């Protein structure tokens, strides 16, 4: 019993509150807008508002109905480059004052957008460990 009581203080001493960076939460994106363009295209405007060391881009979620937190958790984000995240960035690109634009066109199996149909969008920060932030606010646009 004497051996066990000697080890107990070391067990508590080694248990800290430090969270490894790959388990830290990412901040949800805060600068994001969507504009419907002609010919079934959508323009996504956003700024890189994440500077966490494990941040590697943003995932874009698209649906024909509003996207709740629960729905987003079970959805697959849009893949453009063959892998995630949808929009690849690094923490070094952090600059909330610079707006970036991406035009989403035809993607096999999901798009083009149908004229007259309302679509809903959410953006989430993506980490190198595969974890994502909570989603941005839900935005919508009606395809032209």
Tokens 């958790």 belong to 73
For the chain, the structural domain boundaries read 21-142
Closest CA to 86 of 54, 125, 137: 125
68-94: average pLDDT? 93
- Digit-coded pLDDT (tens) for 120-142: 999 999 999 999 999 999 999 99
Q: State residue 87's pLDDT score.
A: 96
106-130: average pLDDT? 84
Query: pLDDT grade, residue 40 (50/70/90)?
Result: confident
Residue 60 DSSP SS3? strand
Out of 2.115.10.20, 1.10.3720.10, 3.30.2130.10, 2.60.40.10, which CATH number does the structure's domain 21-142 have?
A: 2.60.40.10
116-122: average pLDDT? 94
What distance in Å separates the CA atoms of residue 74 and residue 4, rounded to the nearest whole number? 46
Query: pLDDT grade, residue 98 (50/70/90)?
Result: very high
Output b/e per residue, 110-142; b: 16+ Cβ within 10 A.
Answer: ebebeeeeebbbbbbbbbeeeebbebbebbebe
27 versus 24: which is more confidently predicted?
Answer: 27
User: Is the Cα torsion angle 97, 85, 72, 103 positive or negative in sign?
Assistant: positive
What distance in Å separates the CA atoms of residue 43 and residue 23, rounded to the nearest whole number? 32
């Amino acid at each position: 019993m004497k051996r066990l009581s000697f080890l107990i203080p070391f067990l508590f001493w080694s248990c800290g509150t430090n969270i490894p960076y790959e388990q830290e939460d990412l901040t949800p994106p805060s600068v994001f807008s969507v504009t419907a363009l002609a010919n079934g295209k959508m323009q996504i405007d956003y700024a890189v508002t994440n500077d966490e060391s494990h941040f590697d881009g943003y995932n874009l979620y698209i649906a024909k109905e509003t996207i709740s937190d629960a729905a987003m958790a079970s959805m697959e984000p849009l893949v453009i480059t063959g892998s995630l995240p949808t929009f690849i960035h690094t923490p070094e690109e952090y600059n909330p004052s610079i707006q970036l634009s991406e035009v989403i066109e035809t993607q096999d199996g999901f798009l083009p957008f149908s004229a007259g149909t309302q679509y809903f969008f959410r953006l989430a920060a993506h980490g190198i460990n595969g974890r994502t932030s909570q989603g941005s606010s839900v935005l919508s646009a009606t395809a032209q």
